[in-house]
Chain A
Amino acid sequence: MRLGLDLRGEPDADRRRSLAMEADRLGLWAVLVGRPGRPAVIEAAALATETEHVHLGVWLDGGTAHPTTLAEEVAILDHLSRRRALAVVDGTAAVVGHVERLLAGEIVDGVALTPPPAQTRVTVWAAADLEPVGLTGDLDRDRVTIDRLRDGGTTHAIVTWPGPLRVLARHLASRAAGPGFPDLVAEMADTVDQPGDA
């Protein structure tokens, strides 16, 4: 299981930017941006120029634009980010499916997406199917949550996280990777960290 960071609840744009850049450095799988009334793709396109590896998830309000418009914006983000776009669409099943099919290369109602995205197909989730996981910062509790999700078959989890991202990456993203994570390694790493390593 891979962890992505939900930045939608962070109100400060500079803070979102620095968290996205840190998530990129720490190898987290994705960040997710977007709130009602704010066009997420604008922010994600800027983040694309400041990050190299992290996937850029955009939360899209399916009621505010034609599905083709949403898909076009995601396709451009996919090129700007060099294959790192993913989309979470808040809308009816028909709207989500419309966006997803266009971004998978299908011709929908006679319309082909031009340009197509850079990826073979862009991952599109329905917002209704995406339950962000609220991690607490209490590692004893969060380990249980991560194990439950991973062993329950979740492949990708979008999480909120209140503490330093380094702790999330070290203790929980590593644990999420597969069964049998040696906690001892993460705990020993904490003891040898120098001030300023974070």
Chain B
Amino acid sequence: MRIGVGLWCLQSTATAPRSFTAAYRDLLDDARLAERVGIDSLWLSEHHRYYDGYCPALLPAASAALAVTERLRVGTGVLLLPLHRPERVSAAAAELTTRSGGRFELGMGMGYRPIEFDGKGLSMTDRVRRMTAGLDELAADRPAPLWVGVTSEAAARRAGRRGLGLFISGAFSREVVDSLIAAHRRAWIDGGRPGPGGDEGGRPPPVGLLRNLWLTDGDRERRRALDWVRSSYLVYAGLGWGADDTGVDFTAAIEASMDEVEASAVVGSAEHVADELGRYDDVDLVVCRIAYDQPPRTALVEVIERIGTELVPLVGDPIGAGAVTP
């Protein structure tokens, strides 16, 4: 199992205001640290038009993180494909692949905030059409390992039938994870088992799982980590408040959402976390969601070190040991 860390969003929130320039400097420090302690990959996340400066342009940030590392993989988890022109994303991904010696991975999602589409002169009602057209173009080019960020079975099928990796991006229960993996696999088989080279009959595309996860000693640390995870969803709720017309009442959903997040979070000793992750034997990549603005920076640095030195030896593939990529 590959162990990555995420999601770097490069924000300056009302909760924890900071310099954006410092955020990008910290990203490079974190990438160097993650590499040094043996973590497989670091993942970035995109949004637009939010007051906190949530990173709107992942590819230059990925380029800088790749430039300061030699073995670490850097991925987008996820780039909002319908907001971009696919041929340009493909060219940039190919450039990153060349420059990094194949260490870039492109995760793509659909987006859900109308305001982000408006800002690019687009309509959100067009997003599925733009997503599928974009995925077709990227699947044909294969400029990097490709993943599709999903929260629904329809999206999992979009990924599977094109032979693209499944990046499960929500804080889902085991049952929901199972249903998404099954939908992905079925669509891959029905689609003729497309492989990375457009060939048929290859290996099934890999499955990645985002998990709220923290390594702790004792109950007090555990409670503190769970509180960070819970409160991080206030930031997401804020994004939702900026997204009218999504059909979701984010204000009403926040408590339930935080409970759901807490229930699916994996928090405890490295042995406990390794046992929990061991139950996901059909998952190739786990992205530990640790980078958000509630934990103090010292705690973030410490957990990156602990994931690399304690968790990776228990469950991780050594870097470069033929890890499965899409």
Within 8 A of B (CB), among A47-100: 48-50, 64-66, 68-69, 72-73, 75-77, 79-80, 82-83
Mask, B24-68, CB within 8 Å of A = 1, is 110010000000000000000000111111111101110110111
Known A42-B92, A65-B85; contact A76-B67, beta-carbon cutoff 8 A:
no
Interface status of A45 (Cβ within 8 A of chain B): yes
Q: What is the minimal beta-carbon distance from B264 to any residue of chain A, in angstroms?
A: 30
Q: What is the minimal beta-carbon distance from B326 to any residue of chain A, in angstroms?
A: 21
In the complex, which residues of chain A have a beta carbon less than 8 angstroms from the beta carbon of B68?
Answer: 49
Determine if A114 and B52 form an interchain contact, defined as CB atoms under 8 angstroms apart: yes
Partner of A76, one of B51, B60, B95, B99: B60
By size class, the interface of chain A is: 20 to 34
Q: List 27 A-B contacts (CB under 8 A).
A: A13-B99, A39-B88, A41-B60, A42-B92, A42-B95, A42-B96, A42-B99, A43-B95, A43-B99, A45-B60, A45-B63, A46-B64, A46-B66, A49-B67, A64-B88, A66-B120, A66-B121, A72-B56, A76-B57, A76-B60, A76-B61, A79-B23, A80-B24, A110-B119, A114-B52, A114-B56, A118-B21
Determine if B24 and A114 form an interchain contact, defined as CB atoms under 8 angstroms apart: no
Bound-state Cα–Cα, A173 to B66, Å: 33
Q: What is the minimal beta-carbon distance from A23 to any residue of chain B, in angstroms?
A: 17
Determine if B60 and A115 form an interchain contact, defined as CB atoms under 8 angstroms apart: no
Q: What is the minimal beta-carbon distance from B106 to any residue of chain A, in angstroms?
A: 13
Interface status of A37 (Cβ within 8 A of chain B): yes
Known A45-B67, A77-B60; contact A118-B91, beta-carbon cutoff 8 A:
no
Determine if B119 and A68 form an interchain contact, defined as CB atoms under 8 angstroms apart: yes
Known A41-B60, A46-B64, A49-B28; contact A69-B23, beta-carbon cutoff 8 A:
no
Residue positions of B touching A, CB distance < 8 A: 10, 12, 20-21, 23-25, 28, 48-57, 59-61, 63-64, 66-68, 83-85, 88, 91-92, 95-96, 99, 118-121
Determine if B85 and A64 form an interchain contact, defined as CB atoms under 8 angstroms apart: yes
4 closest cross-chain pairs (CB), A and B: A115-B53, A45-B60, A46-B67, A45-B63
Known A38-B95, A46-B99; contact A80-B61, beta-carbon cutoff 8 A:
yes
Q: What is the minimal beta-carbon distance from B51 to any residue of chain A, in angstroms?
A: 7
Determine if A46 and B56 form an interchain contact, defined as CB atoms under 8 angstroms apart: no
Question: Given known contacts A80-B64, A114-B50, what 7 new A-B pairs fall within 8 Å (CB)?
Answer: A38-B91, A43-B99, A73-B60, A76-B57, A79-B23, A80-B61, A111-B119
Interface status of A44 (Cβ within 8 A of chain B): yes
Known A50-B67, A64-B88, A65-B85; contact A79-B99, beta-carbon cutoff 8 A:
no
Determine if A76 and B88 form an interchain contact, defined as CB atoms under 8 angstroms apart: no
Determine if B64 and A114 form an interchain contact, defined as CB atoms under 8 angstroms apart: no
Q: What is the minimal beta-carbon distance from B14 to any residue of chain A, in angstroms?
A: 13
Known A38-B91, A46-B99; contact A72-B57, beta-carbon cutoff 8 A:
yes
Q: What is the minimal beta-carbon distance from A113 to any residue of chain B, in angstroms?
A: 8
Bound-state Cα–Cα, A64 to B23, Å: 28
Interface status of A112 (Cβ within 8 A of chain B): yes
